[in-house]
Amino acid sequence: MSRSSRSPATAGEGADDAGALEKAAAQADPRWLSGLGGRGGIHARGTIARVDLPRILGQNARLNLETEFVANIKSAEKRAKQSVKRRAHNMAARSRLRTSIKKVLNAIGAGQKDEAAAALKAAQPVIDTHGHQGHHHRNKAARHKRELNAKIKAIAAK
């Protein structure tokens, strides 16, 4: 099997040159930033920093952020790179939170009490983590859990 016919996930396994991975990724998703070459991490070229999110957040992420730096001082450039990476992390964390809440709400909407309770049990650590890490206030985390739990109890009462 030639390298060009493989998917991006399998192209990285045992691929000797980064060009094959880059071509496979570019064919799979046009938003994939072509200059990364599968090496991952943050790439600074001139005044542009590029973040390869699959390297940072896992292979399922396909979002690339570019930031043009205005800073002339090295420490300011470093902070700009760090803020790009932190934003990517926060976006993924926020998405994880919203997805876990939506799973509970979808099960509640379908009237499936057991699935909703299981989804809430899986969502509670995610909601708590966001409250502790400061993504949102701990009272908001408690409110999310309380409201979801009340909706599940309302299904059971019917």
**CA 101/CA 151 separation, integer angstroms:** 12
Residue 127 covered by a domain: yes
pLDDT tens column, 98-118: 999 999 999 999 999 999 999
Residues 65 and 108 in one domain: no
**Looking at residue 37, what is its pLDDT?**
44
Task: Quickly list DSSP for 68-81.
Answer: E----SHHHHHHHH
> Worst-scoring range by mean pLDDT, 20-24, 90-94, 125-129, 130-134?
20-24
pTM of the predicted model, to two decimals?
0.56
Establish if 78 belongs to a structural domain. Answer: no
Number of domains within the chain: 2
Regarding whether 96 and 45 lie in a shared domain, the answer is no
Residue 34: CB atoms within 10 Å: 11
Same-domain status, 57 and 100: no
Q: Considering the chain, what percentage of its residues have pLDDT values greater than 70?
A: 56
Question: Is the pLDDT higher at 37 or at 68?
Answer: 68
Query: Is 97 found in the same domain as 53?
Result: no
Q: Are 131 and 142 in contact (CB under 8 A)?
A: yes
- Domain enclosing residue 62, as ranges: 3-70
Inside any domain, residue 24: yes
Q: What's residue 26's pLDDT?
A: 53
pLDDT 10s digits, 50-100: 555 556 556 555 555 555 667 889 999 999 999 999 999 999 999 999 999
The residue from 40, 70, 100 where one domain ends is 70
Task: Please report the pLDDT score of residue 135 as a whole number.
Answer: 86
